[in-house]
């Protein structure tokens, strides 16, 4: 039963990782940028939610759309001020510029909010600890179920948006061939700016997830980025449902690691990530040989 | 309607087009011929706005459009069918067309009319573009460009890599559009086919114009000489 409970916890944790990783995966799929500032943007969104809830006294359901709007505007600005310029300089420069941005953001947050540990849980009633008991040993947290539902809604909604709306189709066409969309009358830079706005707006949902399930400080971004990045790599860069699968596999690996040893959580997650990474980097013939050696 | 003035262009240090000038009247069909690397594709890309020339100007309908990006030129009526077709992979045939619809000018070309003109596309509406045959992809690329209702259509190597039957099909669809109001620049490897549909022919060699004249009754030997530069190579060095 402990095993089942740990696997279930892994699934829920993975859904939370997917909430954060969806944006990373989407931005990579469209702009071919690995946004190293994403973890810090998630923490920024968590602080904005905290401001709205704590200082302005807004209930979280009202604070969230506000934060989404602010983050979307920030995404537009980020594209025009940082991403577009660094993209012109080659594929490595966006990696450097978003890394720099992460450092700037982390320290700005520290200057503004100090080193205090915050959480959004106090503004959400009993959501953080309420649960349904399935039986004596097993119960499901309300927040966990909500996170899983949110991950499905976010990734499914994104998928539907990309497939069935005009802007979605335009984003896919631009991702496929940015030069040719210009030849059919589309300004690729405007499309990129909207895609960035969408990706950064998604950080608001990640920030809500972070603030509700855990505590955060101005320097929490790097850990969030690391787990999200691992989820995306495990699931396959640019694939949206793969991101959810990757997040869940990572969450399960971490929880099973914790079951084996109290210190097992992080090593199991990183180890699993490295295994998948090596498998992905291996040339195909080597993979085939491995598979043949493993099968009798 | 189109005036190309002393255009030089290229990639980095490589100069592909050297001081090319020509004028094109509305409704004219121009065949642009020349060997591989003669600068035909570069010249078309400069006219479409996909790249900026090193120097020179492009005027369209009386306006200097040299500084306009490609997507602005589409709105003024210039459309390029790029070399290698470049349909959007991962998008269906219908999505490839829908994404282009309503971006350029309004006019006779609508989704419904294009499906009538290219019945092979109507049958494949739901198929992903990259699964189509070469001829079907070419038809899709042409249809996608026509949705902008261009007055100047630039066709880059529409028969490249296609079976002879597919080439015939593409030209069968194109021919009714030629000779009307539509102005066309056609880059084509097949000299006979180019001369068959064009009013005028320009031959490029190493980025410069070596021959220009009417397509009808053109002297094949003279064009071949301009094509391969045999006159130039006869010069003592």
Please tell me if residue A167 touches chain B, with a CB cutoff of 8 Å: no
Residue among B89, B95, B147 whose CB faces A169 most closely: B95
Q: At what angle do helices A2-31 and A166-176 cross, to 10 degrees?
A: 80
Write down the pLDDT at residue A296: 53
Kindly determine whether residue A183 and residue B48, on different chains, have CB atoms separated by under 8 Å.
Answer: yes
A186: nearest CA partner in chain B: B71
pLDDT tops 70 at residue B231: no
CA distance A234 to A242: 8
Specify the CATH number for the domain of residue A248: 1.10.3470
Residues ≥6 apart with Cβ < 8 Å to B208: B18, B19, B20
Instruction: Identify all chain B residues contacting A239, using CB atoms and an 8 Å cutoff.
Output: none
**Total domains, chain A:** 1
Range of the domain at A288: 2-294
Strands B208-214 and B63-64: unpaired
Dihedral angle sign, alpha carbons of residues A223, A73, A172, A159: positive
Q: Write out pLDDT tens, residues A32-88.
A: 999 999 999 999 999 999 999 999 999 999 999 999 999 999 999 999 999 999 999
Phi–psi pair at B50, nearest 5 degrees: -70, -20
Helix boundaries (H) for B80-208: 93-100, 111-117, 119-122, 134-146, 164-174, 191-197
Query: B34: alpha, beta or left, given left = phi > 0 and alpha = psi -120 to 50?
Result: left
Give the burial class of B33: count Cβ atoms within 10 A of its Cβ; 0-12 exposed, 13-18 middle, 19 or more buried.
buried
What pLDDT is stored for residue B232 in this prediction?
Answer: 47
ipTM score of complex: 0.91
Residue recorded with tokens 């990572």: A250
Inter-chain Cβ pairs, chain A and chain B, closer than 8 A: 70
Residue B206 pLDDT exceeds 50 = yes
Chain A residue nearest residue B101, CA to CA: A184
Degrees (nearest 5) of the Cα angle B128, B173, B204?
95
Question: Which of B49, B82, B148 faces A180 most closely, judged by CB atoms?
Answer: B82
- The list of chain A residues with pLDDT below 70 reads 294-296
Gyration radius of chain A's alpha carbons: 20
pLDDT tens track for B69-90: 999 999 999 999 999 999 999 9
């Amino acid at each position: 039963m402990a095993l089942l409970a740990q696997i279930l916890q892994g699934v829920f944790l993975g859904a939370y990782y997917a909430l954060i990783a969806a944006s990373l995966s989407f931005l990579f799929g469209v702009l071919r940028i690995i946004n190293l500032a994403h973890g810090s943007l998630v923490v920024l969104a968590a602080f904005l939610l905290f401001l709205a809830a704590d200082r302005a006294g807004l209930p979280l359901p009202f604070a969230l759309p506000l934060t989404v709007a602010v983050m979307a505007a920030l995404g537009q600005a980020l594209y025009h001020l940082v991403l577009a310029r660094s993209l012109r300089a080659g594929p490595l420069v966006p990696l450097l510029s978003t890394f720099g941005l992460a450092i700037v953001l982390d320290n700005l947050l520290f200057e503004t909010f100090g080193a205090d540990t915050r959480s959004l849980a106090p503004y959400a009633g009993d959501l953080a600890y309420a649960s349904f008991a399935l039986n004596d040993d097993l119960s499901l947290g309300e927040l966990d179920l909500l996170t899983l539902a949110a991950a499905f809604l976010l990734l499914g909604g994104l998928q539907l948006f990309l497939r069935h709306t005009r802007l979605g189709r335009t984003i896919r066409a631009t991702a496929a061939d940015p030069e040719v969309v210009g030849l059919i009358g589309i300004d690729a830079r405007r499309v990129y700016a909207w895609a960035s706005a969408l990706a950064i707006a998604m950080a608001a949902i990640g920030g809500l997830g972070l603030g509700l399930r855990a505590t955060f400080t101005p320097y929490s971004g790097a850990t969030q980025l690391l787990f999200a990045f691992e989820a995306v790599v495990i699931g396959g860069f640019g694939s949206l449902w793969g991101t959810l699968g990757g997040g869940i596999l990572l969450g399960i690996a971490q929880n099973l690691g914790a079951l084996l040893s109290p210190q097992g959580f992080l090593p199991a997650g990183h180890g699993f990530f490295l295994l998948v990474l090596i498998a992905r980097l291996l040339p195909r013939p080597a993979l085939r040989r491995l598979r043949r050696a493993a099968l009798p | 309607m189109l005036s190309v003035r002393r255009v030089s262009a290229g990639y980095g240090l490589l100069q592909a087009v050297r001081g090319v000038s020509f004028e094109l009247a509305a409704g004219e069909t121009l065949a642009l011929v020349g060997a591989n690397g003669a600068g035909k594709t570069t010249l078309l890309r400069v006219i479409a706005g996909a790249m900026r020339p090193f120097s020179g100007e492009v005027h369209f309908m009386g306006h200097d459009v040299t500084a306009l990006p490609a997507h602005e030129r589409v709105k003024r009526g210039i459309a390029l069918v790029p070399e290698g077709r470049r349909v959007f992979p991962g998008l269906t045939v219908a999505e490839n067309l829908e994404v282009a619809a309503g971006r350029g000018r309004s006019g006779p070309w609508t989704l419904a009319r294009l499906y009538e003109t290219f019945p092979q596309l109507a049958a494949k509406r739901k198929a992903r573009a990259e699964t189509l045959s070469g001829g079907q992809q070419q038809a899709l690329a042409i249809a996608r460009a026509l949705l902008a209702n261009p007055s100047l259509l630039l066709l880059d190597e529409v028969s490249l890599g296609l079976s002879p039957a597919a080439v015939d099909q593409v030209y069968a669809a194109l021919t009714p559009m030629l000779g009307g109001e539509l102005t066309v620049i056609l880059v084509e490897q097949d000299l006979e086919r180019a001369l068959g549909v064009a009013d005028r022919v320009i031959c490029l060699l190493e980025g410069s114009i070596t021959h220009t004249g009417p397509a009808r009754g053109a002297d094949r030997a003279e064009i071949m000489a301009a094509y391969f530069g045999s006159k130039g190579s006869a010069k003592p060095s």
